[in-house]
Chains A and B, each alone.
Chain A
Amino acid sequence: GENVEQHPSTLSVQEGDSAVIKCTYSDSASNYFPWYKQELGKGPQLIIDIRSNVGEKKDQRIAVTLNKTAKHFSLHITETQPEDSAVYFCAASPINNNDMRFGAGTRLTVKP
């Protein structure tokens, strides 16, 4: 089955700086890679996703890159703000089955 590793486990940045979170996956059949943001006491919120037919996707301050050859994908947050502070989870799965696996999470702290 799929195994997803996520780094770093904690990340602290100054407001305005960029933050990068990286994930690797093991199953070459995986072709769907979502990212979730989870605030304390709440459910995860889908913030961006990428499918294997593209290498990069951007939505305002958030971007995701995918390297299928190396089996890794990354979340980039630019111009970070204190409200970006949360736990971020990456995930990977083949798009036609139910086996989505999550990374262990990254706790991002943005210092004002």
Chain B
Amino acid sequence: GAVVSQHPSRVICKSGTSVKIECRSLDFQATTMFWYRQFPKQSLMLMATSNEGSKATYEQGVEKDKFLINHASLTLSTLTVTSAHPEDSSFYICSARSLSYEQYFGPGTRLTVT
């Protein structure tokens, strides 16, 4: 089956620092990847859509200068949280869309900003 990996699974950083999260589709090519944020006991909140080789499309209210997304290849997208603050602490999940349109999710990254 289609597998999407995310790294790291957990990260703790200090306020003001930047954190990079990687999302990889391991056994399929994904022209489109998505980044979500999930608060406890809530649904998935789409942050941005990234297409390979082009700029990401951000959802309303998501600061593109704070959440930098790069989709450099058909199997890798990265999310960088810049100048992190405690309110950025959350569960970040990526997903990748296959050519047959199924969307597969990564295992998520728990970010804690102290």
Contacts and interface: CB of A to CB of B under 8 A. Distances in A.
A92 to B, nearest CB: 12
A98 interface: yes
A75 B42 CA distance: 20
Among B6, B93, B105: residue with most chain A CB under 10 A: B105
Contacts of A95: 101
Contacts of B97: 98
A49 B107 contact: no
Interface in A72-112: 89, 91, 95, 98, 100, 102-105
B6 to A, nearest CB: 7
Contact of A44 (B6, B49, B105, B110): B105
Contacts, number: 42
Nearest to B44: A102
Interface residues of B, number: 21
A42 interface: yes
A43 B107 contact: yes
A45 B101 contact: no
Given A98-B32, A98-B49, A45 B43 contact: no
A100 B93 CA distance: 15
Contacts of A102: 43-44
Contacts of B34: 98
Contact of B102 (A34, A43, A104): A34
A66 to B, nearest CB: 16
Interface string B81-110: 000000000000101010001111111101
B108 A89 contact: no
B69 to A, nearest CB: 14
Contacts of A34: 102-103
A34 to B, nearest CB: 7
Contact of B108 (A32, A42, A46, A104): A42
Contact of A32 (B4, B32, B101): B101
B32 A46 contact: no
Given A34-B102, A42-B107, 8 more contacts: A34-B103, A41-B110, A43-B93, A43-B106, A43-B107, A45-B105, A89-B43, A98-B34
